[in-house]
Structure 1
Amino acid sequence: MFVSLALVGGLLAGCSGNGNNSGASGGTEGASGEKAEKKVTLTFWRNSGNDAENSAYDKLVASFMEKYPNIKVEMSPIPYSDYDTKLRTSIASGNPPDIMAIDAPNMASYAHAGALKPLTSYFQADGDLQDIPESTINTYTYNKEIYMSPLTESSIALFYNKKLFEEKGIPLPSKNPEEPWTWDQVLDAAKKINDPGKGIFGIDPAQGFNNAGATAYFKYPIVWQFGGEVMSPDGTTSKGYLDSPETKKALQFFSDLYNTEKVSALEYPPDPFPNGKLGITVDGSWSLSYLTEKFPNFKLGVDYDIAPLPKGTRQAVANGSWALGISAKSKNPDEAWKFVNWVTSAEGQKTYVGITKDIPVRYSAAKEFPELNEYPKNIFVVQDQKFGRSRPITPIFPQMSEAVNKLFEEVTIGKRNIDAAVTDAIQKIDKAYSDLPAK
């Protein structure tokens, strides 16, 4: 079942103004004339995570209710596969949760539909904005309003097989997050490592061809690194951006890895990197624990190492993860902000990250964990803080992302003419925006 945000927007249009009928200082006068705080129950929906994530949220909810005994938080973890549909259905039916977790790229569609309460004034009052990178705040901003409060980040970097590099006499990349290799250097190394006869491939540049969301996270940075763009800053069109010479150069380079240089493959054997069948891969911070757990004999610093993402003309990495927003229909938005601010504050992030081992968004929280300020995790942290960029902030993100995913497939797998493929992608994206119901 899919509930469109066009339907959500239509239903919300007749329900606006219901979100501000109580404040944090609300209460009732007692016989003595003293103001007694009212009892409030907040509903909080989030996608259910792994055991560590669930434990971290349990601890944060419990500590919040201990601090604010008059506010009860009813948390509902919902399986990831069902979450978005259930959330959209609850909004369309007029019964959304007070607080909701939303993945960063989907924020604009919810905000455009009027489903989220702007948080800008709350942040300005006590959200400690200066503790969050500006590029991160921009990721949760739509039409000049902040709509969500971020908790953690993830990031991607260049993973390379150290032994294969040494066997081929290839100098090792710098571990300094601000001294990346160029893509030309990466290609040169991949060509030297590539050995089809032995089943060894040079590079997987962007985790193959998965769903559109993976395309956005892994492939858009390549476009940015070559100086290109995907959409206009206001998220309304791809014309003049996806068809720029810089973007086309990035697409050509990506396609050439497979079709001209032949250092990348459309299919790889299982776990090619730790099994010595892949010299270079672009992978996420989450893979460190996976490699440690599943391949204990494939050791960081001995068998493989990590370097910052390559650049063409500039450094860039996609930012944005799951964050917390407040329903536009919440009857207790001020109390909801108290909870959101509690969870995503520096102390909240330290509690959460101390359990999950994720990367906190706030500068101050990141400084509290020595491992985040040392190799290899400092690479992910510094990239996010200094070179992070939001994926296009647009209410048609799913349609846009699908069109760009198809574009990468057509020029690489289908070997289609780049100009023709780009023109079709722009038409799909711009039509999706023109079909968007007015707010």
Structure 2
Amino acid sequence: MKKWIAVILLISFAGFALYYFFPLSTESPDKEKPAQQIELTFLRNLGNQAFNQAYEEVIAAFEAQHPDIKINMQSMHWGNEYELRLRTELAAGNHPDIMAIDSPNLALYANSGSLLSIDSYMKKEGNIDDIPEGVLNGLTYKNEIYLAPIVESSIALFYNMNLFREAGIPFPSGDPNHPMTWDEVLEIAKKLNNPATGVIGIDPAQGFNVGEGPAYFKMPFLWQFGAEVISPDGTTAEGFINSKEALEALQFYQDLYRKHGVAAVEMPPTPFETDKLGMTVLGSWALSELAQTPGFILGEDFGIAPLPKGDYQVVPNGGWALGISSKTKYPEEAWEFVKFVTGYEGSKIFVDISGDLPARYSVAKNFPELNEYPKNIFIQQDQNYSKSRPVTPAYPVISQAVKELFEDVGKNGKDVEVAANEAAEKINNGLRDIKK
């Protein structure tokens, strides 16, 4: 009997130990396992401190709402370094899941098969009616949307109020819908220009720089006079960049330097801020840059007016937008990220931190300062009068040809028709190379 009692006690103790140390689960084994986290690689351009912080905050907000998705963000300096890195990675087969693309280069990546069309996603969930048509056109290639925008850009006429006062010239209107004509600007530039004191009347399109800036700032000259760079079907530049309207625009531009002498090829350092430049065309981002100049205050020392017009009121648009790799293993998850970042919530966070112009109407309405002078000028121009640069795989050739064209006519004084014909030939060669 003692032996059986000992056995019963031993079994009871073993059962108690199993229950105490290994309690029964109320859930199935599958539910106990944490969901597998998907990691998406995101390659993007570096910007200023606020721009970089904006991306960090947007990603943190996305990951908080999507704990099953981890964003591995990698960044490179803007410009040739970023483009070289991205193209090198793609050529080597190292496709990031998501990538930032400078919108003029869209067709280059879409045509090579590197980008996934997000047309169906955008039309179903991207709320495209909230994006200005001019902006959306620059994100579309062969009738398919490939990129989604976060922020946008625009340019305007900045004028030195001190020099205007000294010359007794009334300040121009800040109404985005009523810009001065280029002829009116020319007359003001003549009054401001003073070689004796070293004052230059106007810098019409950011001098003669390198990179994409020249095409961005100078292409609007052609559009404003009714010209195009290439045909609507993207097959030729002949009869477009060298059209009668283009020659008129180029002649006006050249005359600012050669005939009237109100623009200068060589500029002193910071001429606008030191009262040596009456008017200049700058981007929306210049507001924050000029705010760092002590003693040079918006509304006291300088003002802003809409970009002057020719026969038409047109400004450039375009900026960094997000696309999805055609090689990603996770297109749905990548779209969730793109949708969040470029949608209302993500864009609102980004704009609030970066100070950039939003691409969406709804986000612009959310910031009172964007609906007041001077930022309303940039916003309303972008929404109502903006145009995208040509969407073609040959765009890098076009950008370089436009840069060289304006250098030839403005800096070098070449006959405008000769220079335009040379530009048309360069672009057509590029278009033919793409076909091959």
Q: Same fold (TM over 0.5)?
A: yes
Could you tell me which residue of structure 1 aligns to residue 153 of structure 2? 154
Could you tell me which residue of structure 2 aligns to residue 230 of structure 1? 229
Could you tell me which residue of structure 2 aligns to residue 105 of structure 1? 104
Could you tell me which residue of structure 2 aligns to residue 395 of structure 1? 393
Three-state SS of the structure 1 residue aligned to 2:72 is strand
- State the distance in 1 between where 2:435 and 2:246 align: 29
Contact 2:219 2:402 (8 Å CA) reproduced: no
Return the TM-score normalized by structure 2: 0.91
Could you tell me which residue of structure 1 aligns to residue 328 of structure 2? 330
The reply on whether 1:183 has 2:217 as its aligned counterpart is no
Could you tell me which residue of structure 2 aligns to residue 209 of structure 1? 208
Could you tell me which residue of structure 1 aligns to residue 170 of structure 2? 171
Of the three residues 314, 328, 338, the one matched with 1:316 is 314
- State the distance in 1 between where 2:354 and 2:402 align: 32
Could you tell me which residue of structure 1 aligns to residue 135 of structure 2? 136
1:242 to partner: Cα distance? 0.5
Structure 1 or 2, whichever has the larger Rg, is: 2
- State the distance in 1 between where 2:295 and 2:100 align: 37
- State the distance in 1 between where 2:77 and 2:417 align: 41
- State the distance in 2 between where 1:356 and 1:212 align: 23
Could you tell me which residue of structure 2 aligns to residue 424 of structure 1? 422
Query: Structure 1 regions of 5+ residues with no counterpart?
Result: 1-29
Could you tell me which residue of structure 2 aligns to residue 13 of structure 1? none
Deviations 1:36-88 (A, max 9, x none): 97532111000122221221111111111111111111111122252111111
Could you tell me which residue of structure 1 aligns to residue 338 of structure 2? 340
Runs of 4+ with deviation above 2 angstroms: 30-33, 36-39, 79-82, 233-236
- State the distance in 2 between where 1:312 and 1:201 align: 22
1:93 to partner: Cα distance? 1.3
- State the distance in 2 between where 1:273 and 1:421 align: 30
Deviations 1:161-182 (A, max 9, x none): 1222222222221110000000
Deviations 1:86-137 (A, max 9, x none): 1111111112100000101111100111110001100111101111001111
Could you tell me which residue of structure 2 aligns to residue 85 of structure 1? 84
- State the distance in 1 between where 2:62 and 2:354 align: 19
- State the distance in 2 between where 1:408 and 1:324 align: 31
Amino acid at match of 1:64: F
Contact 2:397 2:430 (8 Å CA) reproduced: yes
Three-state SS of the structure 2 residue aligned to 1:348 is helix
Could you tell me which residue of structure 1 aligns to residue 7 of structure 2? none
Three-state SS of the structure 2 residue aligned to 1:305 is strand
Contact 1:318 1:390 (8 Å CA) reproduced: yes
- Cα RMSD between the aligned structures? 1.8
Amino acid at match of 1:234: D
- State the distance in 1 between where 2:193 and 2:81 align: 41
Amino acid at match of 2:392: T
Contact 1:236 1:394 (8 Å CA) reproduced: no
1:392 to partner: Cα distance? 1.2
- State the distance in 1 between where 2:233 and 2:40 align: 33
Three-state SS of the structure 2 residue aligned to 1:207 is coil
Could you tell me which residue of structure 1 aligns to residue 196 of structure 2? 197
- State the distance in 1 between where 2:239 and 2:113 align: 29
Could you tell me which residue of structure 2 aligns to residue 9 of structure 1? none
Amino acid at match of 2:88: T
Could you tell me which residue of structure 2 aligns to residue 5 of structure 1? none
- State the distance in 1 between where 2:134 and 2:188 align: 32
Could you tell me which residue of structure 1 aligns to residue 376 of structure 2? 378
Amino acid at match of 1:316: V
Query: Structure 2 regions of 5+ residues with no counterpart?
Result: 1-27
Could you tell me which residue of structure 2 aligns to residue 17 of structure 1? none
Identical positions, percent: 52
Return the TM-score normalized by structure 1: 0.90
Q: How many residues align?
A: 408
Deviations 1:275-299 (A, max 9, x none): 00010110111111111112x2111
Could you tell me which residue of structure 2 aligns to residue 27 of structure 1? none
- State the distance in 2 between where 1:170 and 1:61 align: 49
Deviations 1:210-243 (A, max 9, x none): 1251111111111111111111223332112101
1:340 to partner: Cα distance? 0.5
- State the distance in 1 between where 2:29 and 2:120 align: 34
